[in-house]
Chains A and B, each alone.
Chain A
């Protein structure tokens, strides 16, 4: 059974600071990792994907992957109140050919304090 673990929070960060969100996964075969943002009452929205060890930057967002430690993180620089949302970490098992879909963590609720 694949598991994706996240601290549910809430994680409170002052506006302008760096928000750091963490995720661990149980299945070493997992190759693809995703961060989705979900506002309250809305559907998940893909914000980052990462496939290789190291960092991947996109605007204010940086995803970090360490396959040896089975750890993936998301950094949000210059946090804004509009970043307040639940951030879902998701992994996909390549052996399933897409049939398994994504396995999600429970999400971390992030609050950016003005």
Chain B
């Protein structure tokens, strides 16, 4: 499978716990994006990497959210001290530099109890 891969597909956690999601982009893609999507809404941009550099992070929802892409390949999104309002689908997308076409992974559905 050469598409964008996200793990886990589903995550159920208790309020206050930390969670981490992983995204493996399409192998030749050097741009990687994280989005959040809640029910009835379109995806909401969170952050963006070009290779290993995080070029935009001001749209992360709070300081409880952080993302890394240490070697310019896979990326992780961490949410600390989860709240019920964090329940959503977290989507990862990748693209080539110079291309505006984003390819999305299947997402991680987070439920905070």
A residues neighboring B (CB under 8 Å):
4, 8, 32, 34, 42-46, 49, 88, 90, 92, 96, 98-107
Q: A44 vs B50: C-alpha distance in the bound complex, in angstroms?
A: 21
19 contacts between A and B (CB under 8 A): A8-B40, A34-B100, A34-B101, A43-B91, A43-B105, A43-B106, A46-B101, A49-B100, A98-B50, A100-B45, A100-B48, A100-B56, A101-B33, A101-B102, A102-B45, A102-B102, A103-B45, A104-B42, A106-B42
B103 at the interface (CB under 8 A from A): yes
| Distance in angstroms between the alpha carbons of A49 and B102 in the assembled complex | 11
Per the 8 Å Cβ criterion, residues 1-47 of B in contact with A are 31, 33, 35, 40-45
CB-contact partner of B42 in A32, A45, A90, under 8 A: A90
B interface: dominant SS: strand
Name the interface residues of B60-97: CB closer than 8 Å to any CB of A. Answer: 91, 93, 95, 97
Count chain B CB atoms within 10 A of each CB in A32, A34, A102, A103 and give the residue with the most.
A102
Is there contact, CB below 8 Å, between A49 and B48?
Answer: no
- Category for how many chain B residues contact A: 20 to 34
CB distance from A1 to the nearest CB of B (A): 12
Q: 8 other contacts beyond A46-B101, A90-B42, A99-B48, with CB at 8 A cut-off?
A: A4-B42, A43-B91, A92-B100, A98-B31, A101-B56, A101-B102, A103-B45, A104-B42
